[in-house]
Amino acid sequence: MDNVQALINEIKNTGHRKVMLQLPEGLKTKSAEVAERLEGAGVSVLLRNKPSYGACDLADKEAKQMGCDLLVHVGHNKFYRDFGVAVPVLYFPWIMDVPMDDIDFSVISEKRIGLVTNIQHLHLLEDVRKKIEETGKTVIIGGQLLGCWTANAVKIENDIDAFLFVGSGVFHSLALKTDKKVYGLDLERKKIEPVDLSLLERRRWAHIYKAREAKTFGILVSTKEGQNQLIGNAEKIRQLLERKDKKAFVLVMDEIRDDMLLGIKADAFINTACPRIMDDTWTRPLVNATDVDKLFDD
């Protein structure tokens, strides 16, 4: 059964007939096709045409506003912490099958390998484990990662020599804060390559050092339910900065992007939303809430 038919079946099982469909960027090219098939199956569909950053970023309020009785959130599973939603949400992971036969796993030199992945490829980890074990290595399956949540990697870190992320791109791999070697298996190119974690760490500290010179801070708070005060309390941070003779104010935003901050008179920003926002390019220093204390290290 293909993904669209499986999705149709799940929607029908809910009993809802008017849905808003929220697709990740990688599936936007399929949006018209998916909508057409859903409509053909008797499901009324509205497409939400806006970037979807994960299960922390639900279009539930838009779905309710447009009269939908269900949000279909594709490409992710339920967020790791609970928050209220305006309409029921159906999480649909969109499983992707990839043959492993022509992938060279021998390029991994370490002996004990920890496997992590995203939700779309979670079912592939057992096949990857078998392929790696054929090369004489030991494998421990960690499981799923999110861009902001790596607990499944942390729990196995002391028992392995290297991580292998199974997926595409480096977004999830770069979330790993580890001294262990990290490899990425790019399933689109069928190739395993080392992932350099040092670039983001250097960028992080560059922002911290530059922000130490700032006199005025904007504290960024997201209106997205899953990111709202995710790792910091804005008012406590404001009070801390003011005790250090800094000026500070709170900025509430739906989409936190550099271009939306260009007119704001601040020397630096503190991010209390998704920690991976830090990975974007910023005109002025941006520091995650968890690093505020490092602004005042001696």
Tell me the pTM.
0.84
Output the pLDDT for position 58.
93
The predicted-structure confidence for 109-129, as pLDDT tens digits, reads as follows 999 999 999 999 999 999 999
> 223: closest CA among 171, 175, 268, 260?
260
Strands 286-288 vs 247-253: parallel, antiparallel or unpaired: unpaired
pLDDT band at residue 1 under the 50/70/90 scheme: low
Mean pLDDT computed over 65-70: 96
How many Å separate Cα 72 from the centre of its chain?
Answer: 18
Indicate whether 291 pLDDT > 90.
yes
Distances (CA, A) of 43 to 15, 60, 65, 115, 289: 10, 18, 18, 38, 43
Q: What is the mean pLDDT of the chain?
A: 92
| Strand ranges of the sheet holding 286-288, from the earlier edge strand across to the other edge | 247-253, 216-222, 268-271, 286-288
- Res 298 pLDDT > 80: no
Question: In this predicted structure, what is the pLDDT of residue 166?
Answer: 96
23's tokens:
């697709």
Give the tens place of pLDDT for each residue, 211-264: 999 999 999 999 887 776 655 689 999 999 999 999 999 999 988 999 999 999
Copy the structure tokens of residue 1: 């059964």
Please say whether the beta carbons of 100 and 133 come within 8 A: no
Per residue in 137-184, pLDDT tens? Answer: 999 999 999 888 899 999 999 999 999 999 988 888 888 989 999 999
Q: Looking at residue 217, what is its pLDDT?
A: 98
Cα–Cα distance between 63 and 107 in angstroms, integer? 47
Per DSSP, the residues of 166-197 read: EESSSTTGGG---SSEEEEEETTTTEEEE---
| Percent of the chain residues past pLDDT 90, beyond the cut | 74
